[in-house]
Amino acid sequence: MAKAKAGRTGIDLPALMLRLTVGPMMVIHGLNKVRGPGGLEGTASYFESLGLQPAAVHARVAAGTEIGTGAMLTLGAGTPWAAAGVIGVMTSAAATDHKGKGFFIFKGGWEYVGIVGAVAATIAALGPGRFSVDRVRGKDKGGLLRALLASALGIGSALGVLTVGRRPSDTAS
């Protein structure tokens, strides 16, 4: 047991670095939906153009999810759940804003959201590491199963939201 923990220390710093990269980025992304140009009304208007209904609810849920999961990842609290939230938001973005635009982000493609989602799954696989709230709580495990569950929950949630929250003409395309 002691040897396993000692071997794990090589993962603690990379896990922290990934969490401190993706977590704050998600918080800022969510805050931009609330306080950026146009505020929540502008975000809702944009979501309306993507076919999300009711757009105001989607705007608030997206902003709240981004801020909440970003804060959780930053702190390493509820890490697999936070990763699932990030994966869900990125899946929704890929299926709406980035859909049909190819791979490259400079052409509006899904490159960025795919990488952010993959990094969130990687964080779930690594676990939050020693420098985390989860470690203090004794919940700092990672592993393939956690990554797969976070991915399935995130993707499944996004598909559920998109199934019930899009105009009928948008779901057929």
DSSP designation for 110: S
Q: What is the pLDDT of residue 169?
A: 54
CA–CA separation, 88 vs 114, rounded Å?
11
Checking if the pLDDT of 11 tops 50, the result is: yes
Sign of CA dihedral 44, 50, 55, 61: negative
pLDDT above 50 for 6: no
Contact assessment for residue 120 and residue 22, using Cβ atoms and an 8 Å cutoff: yes
Instruction: Determine the pLDDT at residue 132.
Output: 97
- Whats the size of the chain, residue-wise? 173
Whether the predicted pLDDT of 3 surpasses 80? no
* Residue 97 CB partners (closer than 8 Å, separation 6+): 50, 108
Does 75 score more than 90 pLDDT? yes
In angstroms, the CA 73 to CA 18 distance is 9
Prediction pTM value: 0.90
Q: CA 156 to CA 126: how far, in whole Å? A: 22
41-47 mean pLDDT = 97
